[in-house]
Amino acid sequence: MLKIEEEVKMNPNRLVQYLDKPAEDFTKRDLIKFIEGNGIRMVNFRYVGGDGRLKSLNFVIQNRGQLDRLLSTGERVDGSSLFSFVDAAASDLYVIPRFKTA
């Protein structure tokens, strides 16, 4: 048990330190607590695009309900604009966060 406590304490991820738990144990409730507790107004979803480059989708948080929905069900996007190999005729995708990567 001490080993996990040391890893959390020494982890450079501010979220790990704030929540006092390893990233693989993060929940939606944890992320909301951190976002509200730190006055964060924008959330970024990052992903690797079809071209191998890091991409980002940015969301301005208007209220807790919107944040809860965003973290629960993600956001609908046009997949053909994110990935060139996705056919425009069937390109509706949802980007959903993986809490452990926060």
State pLDDT tens for residues 49-64: 777 888 888 999 999 9
- Predicted TM-score (pTM) of the model is 0.80
Model pLDDT, residue 100: 93
Question: What is the share, in percent, of the chain residues with pLDDT greater than 90?
Answer: 51
43 and 72 Cβ atoms separated by less than 8 Å: no
- Map out the domains of the chain with their CATH numbers: 2-101 (3.10.20.70)
For residue 4, the model assigns a pLDDT of 67
| 99 Cβ contact list (under 8 Å, min separation 6) | 26, 27, 28, 30, 31, 71
In the predicted model, is pLDDT for residue 89 greater than 80? no
Region 73-77 average pLDDT: 85
Question: What's the rounded Cα separation, in Å, for the pair 20 and 41?
Answer: 22
Q: How confident is the model at residue 2 (pLDDT cuts 50, 70, 90)?
A: low
Q: 89 or 101: whose pLDDT is higher?
A: 101
Region 65-91 average pLDDT: 81
> Smallest Cα–Cα separation from 44: which of 68, 70, 7?
70
